[in-house]
Structure 1
Amino acid sequence: MSSLQQLALELFDAGAVRLGDIEAKIGRRTPVYFDLRVVVSHPRIMSAVAEHLQRLASEINHDLLCGVPYAALPFTAVMSVNTGVPMIMKRKETKLYATRKLIEGVYHKNQTCLVVEDVVTSGGSVLETVRTLRDEQLNVTHAIVVLDREQGGVSVLKANGVKVVSLFTLNNLTKILRDAGRITDDTVDIISDHIKGCQFGVMYNSGDAITPS
């Protein structure tokens, strides 16, 4: 068993993969929900996730790391400490006092920033972070993620000039879990049907790619 397959099982056993009829963002239902926030209580697993993301990052030119708030921030911080690559943070909202910043940390115009995310579904959260970084005149060409749900978000980001590299795809992850006896063939089929039936696309506005509404 590879270290990545072992990580998939550890994430499942830690409760990061939840199954059932679950309400996701903006009222959508999903048969599987990936919740990496629980991993902050499992330091060894958090370290393993960061190490696998570091391997992806090592193949991509970058000067800075920026985690999408909030689930990706712990992994990004561990990566920064392990590799010595500076980290910056995007706030959910502009600071209303003192510096009134939206980006925290030290950075310079034209540096290249690698975005780190836990899960990509529609691509909206990553794209929001990318646009904020680009507004600060930082270069953003890549994002590394733990899971690509294969529901169109990667295509949305590609249309906006961001290449996504993931540790897992949802199909790949479910097959690992099925082969290890964690989930059944029926569950795999349900998840596969959900992926096919819930896709996010790219629309265009005056020639610029944008995420779906």
Structure 2
Amino acid sequence: MVCLLKELAVQLFDVGAVRLGDIEAKVGRRTPIYFDLRVVVSHPKIMMAIAQHLQILASEIDHDILCGVPYAALPFAAVMSVNTNTPMIMKRKETKLYATKKILEGVFEQNQKCLVVEDVVTSGGSLLETVHTLRKERLSVTDAVIVLEREQGGASVLKANGVDVKSIFTMSELVKILRDAGRISDETVEIVSDHIKECQFGMKDNFEHIIQ
């Protein structure tokens, strides 16, 4: 399993899902390392590998249905659904303004246990927003499986809101694998490590208004 994880990490780097540089992140701060897992949809073998690793994490969690956080995590959730014959629902970015006017697409029942699938957790905001929507629809949400935990406080924010997160990689694990594989330098590992320590998120930065 460890060898397979190392292979996956290198593949993600080689296809451009892991990028280095002084990059502006979604939350408006600069980051020395950026993850764009949307490119994985063009690499079916990598997408399957990610889904299989997420399935291993999911196998330890009691759940009835899956929901991927739009949009990057939707392909992973879809592959997991097909592979495990687990029903999936989809959260819309905005409520449908005509016909059914749904925010969730798919079939579900109140109190079903919904496992959320996400690509990357930094502040936890996107995942929290999805959790809030699912709970408003009377679904039980206590767990999420993700590809990468950036170790910048998002997992703690989610934990404080009743969501346990299991990840394939943490940021520290990933950069060490890439260093050992000769893809990045020791200096880059240090820069990323310093960035993790300096850029921490918490509820004060976050989204108390989402979980009301």
TM-score range, shorter chain: over 0.9
| Higher alpha-carbon deviation: 23-32 or 173-182 | 23-32
What is residue 50 of structure 1 aligned with on the other side? 51
Question: Post-superposition shift, 1:182?
Answer: 0.3
What's the CA shift string for 1:53-96, capped at 9, x where partnerless?
00000000000000000000001000000000000000000001
What is residue 7 of structure 1 aligned with on the other side? 8
Question: Post-superposition shift, 1:210?
Answer: 6.2
Q: Normalising by structure 1, what TM-score?
A: 0.95
What is residue 25 of structure 2 aligned with on the other side? 24
Letter in 2 for 1:101: K
Question: Post-superposition shift, 1:28?
Answer: 1.1
Go from structure 1 to structure 2 and tell me whether the alpha carbon gap of 1:187 and 1:42 turns closer, same or farther (over 3 Å shift).
same
SS of equivalent to 2:193: helix
Letter in 1 for 2:71: Y
SS of equivalent to 1:134: helix
Structure 1: unaligned runs, 5 residues or longer = none
**In structure 2, how many angstroms separate the alpha carbons of the residues matched to 1:186 and 1:210?**
39
User: Quick one: percent identity of the two aligned structures?
Assistant: 73
Question: Post-superposition shift, 1:203?
Answer: 4.2
Question: Post-superposition shift, 1:209?
Answer: 5.8
What is residue 75 of structure 1 aligned with on the other side? 76
What is residue 95 of structure 1 aligned with on the other side? 96
What is residue 62 of structure 1 aligned with on the other side? 63
**In structure 1, how many angstroms separate the alpha carbons of the residues matched to 2:112 and 2:95?**
22
What is residue 104 of structure 1 aligned with on the other side? 105
Question: Post-superposition shift, 1:137?
Answer: 0.5
Is the CA contact 1:160–1:210 (under 8 Å) kept in the aligned structure 2? Answer: no
When the two chains are superposed, the root-mean-square deviation of aligned CA atoms in Å is: 1.5
What's the CA shift string for 1:80-113, capped at 9, x where partnerless?
0000000000000000111000000000000000
**In structure 1, how many angstroms separate the alpha carbons of the residues matched to 2:29 and 2:111?**
38
Q: How does 1:132-211 map to 2 (within 5 A)?
A: 132-203=133-204
